Structure 1
């Protein structure tokens, strides 16, 4: 099935994910030392970053005109909306940094090559991290879903202060509002 528009979505026709408790353990956890390849051709270890970091995770972005991962992708709760989520962080990037985020990253299990193309196409002003081997997902026990023989990170956003997770947004729906919700939290909870 060819992907419909990646950014124009009627969220009333998409099933919302339910809180399965998969992220309840994350607040207060220290980020483990895991090196992830980034779309700016660097290796990033989130545990080494000082200050406030925002990381939004998502299952996988689609490519315009390409066949979807599965025919029922849109009906899998929490699957649809990765591009709108990434674009909302792009559009609010300056506001997020003005509100105290020293670093902003996207995160998925897609390959660095795939993410690099997507980041360029969407004009993302922040790097996207590839957790293709699930090193960070496994170390933090991030909520995941299995689709088409792939393990994908469920959509969430983490606020990390000096390598400690201080807030988690999970589940996230609709995805295009995630950056706005994170921004409001940052404003209400300055460093």
Structure 2
């Protein structure tokens, strides 16, 4: 159990094995809309870190009914802020691109980018094409299909490493940095 900025106690999500198939997978031919106005193909470019998160709360801070009872749901803002705060360090470690990824629309995500001062774009998979193609772990809340929190290290169009489940969310960026520093080779999950 871990407290977040709201003072709520978050329960650690269970490792349900829903991401075991991802390490080593080639990325699908799916282009995602980014909050900076570009269309992003994650197969392009060098080393990328993509953290998938369920959703950011609206500016008024109202969470979905029952949100606090869903293990691993709370913590999207602290996770995004941690990647923001460690962005320069990730770049120094050879990461070419950092993205947040959710099933929210780009328009919804743009508010979070501005409010949180993110130096990287968020990607929208609101049509669930990318999520479905990779069989990313999801859950439903408030009538919405949302991604379970995970982070992928992508290189040369393949998923090199997967962090799943991610808990606590605010320590995810540091875990990625430690993994990159360790120079882990090969494909693994963890």
Regions of 4+ moved over 6 Å = none
- Give the whole-Å Cα distance in 1 for the aligned partners of 2:48 and 2:184: 12
1:138 aligns with 2:105: no
Matched, 1:100 2:94: yes
Once the two structures are TM-superposed, the CA of residue 9 in structure 1 deviates from its matched residue by: 4.3
2:83 maps to what in 1? 89
Do the aligned partners of 1:30 and 1:163 also contact (CA within 8 Å) in 2? yes
Superposition TM-score, scaled by structure 1 size: 0.91
Partner of 1:53 in structure 2?
Answer: 48
- TM-score normalised by structure 2 residue count: 0.92
Contact 1:99–1:190 (8 Å) recurs in 2: no
Residues 126-160 of structure 1, C-alpha deviations (whole Å, 9 max, x = no match)? 01000000010000000000111111010000000
Cα offset, 1:33, TM superposition: 1.2
Q: Tell me the residue number matched to 2:188.
A: none
RMSD of aligned alpha carbons:
1.4
Q: Does 1:63 align with 2:58?
A: yes
Aligned length: 182
Question: Which ranges of structure 1 fall in alignment gaps of 5 or more residues?
Answer: 1-6
1:53-74 C-alpha deviation (Å, 9 max, x unpaired): 100000000134342111x211
Q: 1:41 aligns to what? A: 37
Task: Structure 2 unaligned segments of length 5 or more: list them.
Answer: 186-190
Once the two structures are superposed, the pairs formed by residues 1-191 of structure 1 within 5 Å of their partners are 8-10=5-7, 13-47=9-43, 49-70=44-65, 72-189=66-183
